[in-house]
Structure 1
Amino acid sequence: MTAPKGLMRLLLQEDINFLLTNRLPRRFATRMVGRIAAVEHPLVARPALALWRFFGGVDLSDAATTRFRSLRDGFTRALRPGARVFDPDPATIASPCDAIVGAHGRIDGDRLYQVKGFPYRLGELIPDAAVADRFRDGSFVTLRLTAGMYHRFHAPHGLTVGGVTYLSGDCWNVNPIALKRVERLFCRNERAVIEARLADGTPLLLVPVAAILVASIRLTFLDTERSLRDVGSARVACDARLSKGDEMGWFEHGSTIVVFLPAGVALAPGLVEGQAIRAGKALASR
């Protein structure tokens, strides 16, 4: 066994992984890594990028460039034109991002799962009861973005965003190890609730959940100069019209998006927990 493989196997052991990523001072670590990620000086940026590529399983084959000024620049990289093609079928709701499929299925009244045996309720994740009620008995898909993935997310269908609510919170790791150990984790972490509707009025909800380390969410249709954390916790009303595949925003580290669909919208057949999915591929159909 080579040294790098042995180190990776050690870090992937459940107890050690949880200790390293969740028992350290999460907010302090997040602030520090955020500062390091923004540094463009080569003496900082080059080793940071090298560590990211080594540990993150980064695939840059479809990136617009492989030369980055900083670690943040690598996290938020753009892709070559045409690298992600969104399913053109108007009945299809596409995946908004590259991800690993997590827990998904029907919502039992207002109860759903982060992993098997760890339920949470819509009202614990979504602060507005009227918005949460639109998705009772509907469906959900959890999409986890790992550190090396493409971090931008896109409109899964032609839609209008009517409002965004930022919720301050913790920054637990959102990997499967943490999801099995921390109850209601998504309801504890920093997150945004993006309220949208399709042209026919069908509601759709995207909830990006930030995670440990950089933990910053930026939305293209609002203001990419400031993170949602800078905007504050009040609901921001808007009337942003987006076509399927239009960029909606990005994470500055790996994270999760939970997609909510109302009753009557069916998840795509064949979705399997643990499978990789790319932005633009079918997630559900109307």
Structure 2
Amino acid sequence: MTAPASLMRLLLQEDLNFLLTNRLPRRWATRIVGRIARSEHPLIARPALALWRFFAGVDLSDAAATSFRSLGEGFTRPLRAGARPFPTDPGVIASPCDAIVGAHGRVADGTAWQVKGYPYRLNELLPDPALAARYADGWFVTLRLTAGMYHRFHAPTDLTMEGVTYQSGDCWNVNPIALKRVERLFCRNERAVIEARLADGTPLLLVPVAAILVASIRLTFLDTPALLRDGGAGRRAVNAKLPAGAEMGWFEHGSTILVFLPANAPLLHDLTEGQPIRAGMPLARIGG
């Protein structure tokens, strides 16, 4: 086994990984890494980019550029035009992002799962009981973005955006190791609740969840230059139409998007936990 592979195996050992990514002061670490990610000074940016490429398994084959002035620029890189085609069928709901498929399935009386044995209630995750009730018997899928992945996310089908609620919170790591140890983790972390509706009136909910290190969410259809948290807590009414595949925003580091669908939009049967998926690949279909 090579030295890099041995080092990666050591860092992925559960106890050590949890210690390194969750037992250190999370907000302090997030601020420090945020400063490093924004720096364009060569003495900071070049080592940071080199470490990112070494540890994160970065694939730049479809990126619009392959050299970056800062680590943050690498995280939020755009892709070449046409690299992520989206279905033209309005009844198909696609993945909004590149991700690893996590826990998914039917919401059971208002309960979903971060991993097997670790449930969370929608009325704890979401700011409005009426909104939670809308998906209480629907479907959910967890999409985890790793540090080396493409970090922008897109409209999964033709959508009308209706509202965004920012909820402040912690910045626990959202990797599988933490999900097996921290109860109700998604309900604890900083997140955005994005309400949308399809052309036929079907509601859809996207919940980007921030995580340790950069822990920043930007939404293109609101105000791209500003972090979502800069606008403060509370719901903002929105009336913006986005075609399938239109950019919605981005994370400034790997994180998770939770997708919630109503009962009449079941997930595809061949979706499996641990499956890599790309933005634009089908997740669900209206009416099954």
CA–CA distance in 1 between the matches of 2:159 and 2:2? Answer: 50
* TM-score normalised by structure 1 residue count: 0.99
Q: How far off its partner does 1:93 sit?
A: 0.3
Structure 1: gaps spanning 5 or more residues: none
Aligned AA (2:270)? G
Query: Is residue 171 of structure 1 aligned with residue 171 of structure 2?
Result: yes
Partner of 2:69: 69
Partner of 2:110: 110
CA–CA distance in 1 between the matches of 2:2 and 2:197? Answer: 51
Aligned AA (2:283)? L
Aligned pairs for 1:132-211 within 5 A: 132-211=132-211
Deviations 1:41-72 (A, max 9, x none): 11111100000000111000000000111000
Partner of 1:95: 95
SS in 2 for 1:222: helix
Q: How far off its partner does 1:232 sit?
A: 0.6
CA–CA distance in 1 between the matches of 2:45 and 2:245? Answer: 31
**RMSD value, Cα:** 0.6
CA–CA distance in 2 between the matches of 1:94 and 1:265? Answer: 12
Partner of 2:242: 242
Q: Which runs of 4+ in 1 moved over 6 A?
A: none
* TM-score normalised by structure 2 residue count: 0.98
Deviations 1:117-154 (A, max 9, x none): 00000001001111111111000000000000000000
Q: How far off its partner does 1:91 sit?
A: 1.3
Aligned AA (1:116)? K
CA–CA distance in 1 between the matches of 2:283 and 2:80? Answer: 23
Aligned AA (1:189)? N
CA–CA distance in 2 between the matches of 1:240 and 1:133? Answer: 24
Aligned AA (1:131)? L
Q: How far off its partner does 1:201 sit?
A: 1.1
Q: How far off its partner does 1:88 sit?
A: 1.7
Partner of 2:46: 46
CA–CA distance in 2 between the matches of 1:180 and 1:218? Answer: 28
Partner of 2:19: 19
CA–CA distance in 2 between the matches of 1:180 and 1:258? Answer: 17
Structure 2: gaps spanning 5 or more residues: none
